[in-house]
Structure 1
């Protein structure tokens, strides 16, 4: 439904600019919660842009509900899987197993790889907190600056959270831009792994030599077995890998069969193809993985504890899901008002490539208000009409644009970012040291991912 009543491009562009500025003021200066701010700005933007009064609420609800339909299932199932792995000691098993395989000399690399695997179903904050006592135990065992061990883990969770479904940011951006989730999963992993190696692991080794950071005082009070009250024995290394790789393999199955169908190798109308592709759809793949977790861990945890843990895992993500849905609401208003089309026309006149514009806009929003999720979803909403109006984009191009937006939403973490303070306080770093280390690493991660995505968009 196009409810636009005002067609003057200048009016629409000024309205869009004013909406973004108002969002920044509400969130940063007036400390209004992002969920409330996005709803309020959506209403005002719709009214000022000229959407008919009787259409404002339907447009908002449509954008909100459409985004939640794509995001809520994936995030909820992913969090349940992550929680069950957390309390069963899966993270500890994963870290110990990889250290034994890579060797003690490559302990930071092993910790980072463990975090990459564990970061598939679990959020940045939760993953870092779960791995924190483990990486500090490793740091105490092998010595050296804690940066060498903490930053490969933190960087791994950061890239997985920003670039790889089923995390809410990339899922919401994919939904808003029309990118294929399965292909985005593959693309996100292909870009996230070298980005982590260059921007987190190698930088951590360099920064660890330049900044010798001792073990924090809180380490004395940390019990690295945070899960002992729920089970008698941790799962095996193979079991943890099975759980983490199951959804990836299932989702890749859907993508692979789609590729074979498009290329004419198989007949896509056959029943077995439809069944296997359905099993590989992201919500079904995560549901199957969760059922696998329940089958593996219910006996050791107990039915009541499993039910409680699944319920507890959902509480922390409600705010993220609502903010993401509100970002979709804002996007719905932008689409229906014609602001996106006006911005698309402006960018086409300047000749700025879509992928570059996506990165620049996302970076500006990230620096202004701090939240990567808000920057990512808002930029995706702004870019959706531009992407739709750009001819010749392939399915891969849509994924590269999502990565560019996520890269801009990652760079320049500073005082208005909760991740900045989480890392600072966990490692007992002062603000200057955090800016010299964490902020630089986040900027490297976002920039490297954007560069890789940009180069791939040229090649493919």
Structure 2
């Protein structure tokens, strides 16, 4: 981040004006979101005083824009690409419908959204929000097609489940960094984080998602994964993969990513030597993009016999990749906008205006994280930055591990709420669930905000009890 050239008040005005201009261009002028995001990022960078040229090689407008775009695109493009390939293979062979039918039969038709949400909570434990949500898309679409009603009835609770696990649960990077910065205990935070996640999701994700889904009707966007396949005849049903095979393919990235997490923890604890090459290679296999690549290859060869040739599989995957190019570009541009807001010092301006208000430490943690979330978009950045900002106060207070865990959850709560146009996840959910910007603000932003408030409520209750 550069040294701010404007006062806190000016930077806050720039942030408000930038978001207002972006919404005006997209919602009123109907300019494409990708073009609007890049243009507003440029205007914001100039207005905030980011230099056009730096002889010492520091941050410039060009480097901030390209680095922000590339940073998000480098991870999201791989996750979305492999995710939709896997989804198309499962959907075209009837695997998604088999999994959906089995889940719904276990939970009952009326509890189909609950079945999807519970499954997402399990899968979201080691998998990042973007990857988990994309993998679940064909299942969401299949269930929505079977039972009808708004796509949001099934999509919002599922997306909220992935959002909750990503923000609250160790081993996701945000909470891990916050625990380390605050001097807490990872094991305690993990054990307490599981009930916090479940309770907050039920209140702020599941019930709110149902409430919104029953009032706003969104149709299923067949084009996202290509023409959707439905098992209508006995022959198609006979060729469909078994529930066990489909579940194994979905569990494979879960297992590989978990392996990465376990080995990383053991190396950090000194149980495994830091220079152990075998462990490093196994961790490479468990990196999320590599784990998804391996899963796509496994699905390709496990599903193809008797169902499609490899040449036909290539056409299936090409058909899945085409429609998501726009989603990937918009998501990258959202990362660019967030990077500009970070580099300009707007996030620091917000936190400095909140930190000296004399509030309780847990309330300060929530508000600072919320301000950073609004300012720059990334939940992980908001959690990590807030942890560093309040670390000295937490250390001075001499808090127990339980109290520190409550503060970590409060930080996660603030970093979960008010997802909007500078958050790459906002564009991912909005575009994949067939929503325009206004509808995404009314639905996804509302859902994650109530989810964040629910997490904060549970954290405050824990703070009072422990």
So what's the TM-score if we normalise by structure 2? 0.67
Unaligned regions of 5+ residues in structure 2, if any? 54-59, 125-131, 180-186, 220-227, 395-403, 421-428
**Conservation of the 8 A alpha-carbon contact between 2:114 and 2:157:** no
Deviations 1:238-278 (A, max 9, x none): 01110111111211111122222223333232222212211
Residue matched to 1:31 = 30
Distance, in Å, in 1 between the alignment partners of 2:446 and 2:336 is 33
Within 1, Cα distance between the matches of 2:46 and 2:210? 53
Partner of 2:268: 262
1:326, distance to aligned residue in structure 2 (A): 1.5
**Unmatched 5+ residue regions in structure 1?**
137-145, 217-221, 366-374, 411-416, 424-430
Aligned to 1:82: 87
In 2: Cα distance, 1:63 partner to 1:204 partner: 31
- Cα distance per residue 1:183-211 (max 9 Å; x no partner): 99999987665555455666799999xx9
Report the Cα offset of residue 82 of structure 1. 1.4
Is 1:133–1:223's contact at 8 Å kept on the other side of the alignment?
Answer: no
What's the offset of the Cα at 1:324?
A: 2.1
Match of 2:419 among 375, 389, 409: 409
Say how many residue pairs are matched. Answer: 405
Alignment match of 2:339 (pick from 332, 336, 349):
332
Structural RMSD (CA): 5.1
1:315 to 2:333 alignment:
no
2:141 matched residue in structure 1 = 129
Superposed counterparts of 1:381-460, under 5 Å? 389-391=389-391, 401=411, 404-409=414-419, 445=451, 447-449=453-455, 451=457
**Residue 58 of structure 1: aligned partner:** 63
Write the distance in 1 (CA, Å) between the matches of 2:102 and 2:329: 37
Q: After superposition, give the CA deviation of every residue in 1:110-152 in whole Å (9 maximum; x if it has no partner).
A: 566567789935378765433222234xxxxxxxxx69xx776
Aligned to 1:153: 154
Distance 1:336 1:376 in 2: 9
- Shift in CA distance, 333/359, structure 1 to aligned 2, threshold 3 Å: closer
Structure 1 position 438, deviation (Å): 10
For 1:273-292, what aligned pairs fall within 5 Å after superposition?
273-292=279-298
Deviation at 1:73, TM superposition (A): 1.1
Correspondence for 1:377? 377
1:51 partner SS: coil
Q: Distance in 2 between matches of 1:353 and 1:404?
A: 10
For the Cα contact (< 8 Å) 1:7–1:338, is it kept in 2? no
Alpha-carbon displacement from aligned partner over 1:35-85 (angstroms, at most 9, x marks no partner): 222212221122122222233222211221122122211121112111211
Counterpart in the other structure of 1:45: 44
CA–CA distance in structure 2, aligned partners of residues 292 and 278 of structure 1: 17
| Residue from 346, 353, 360 that aligns with 2:364 | 353
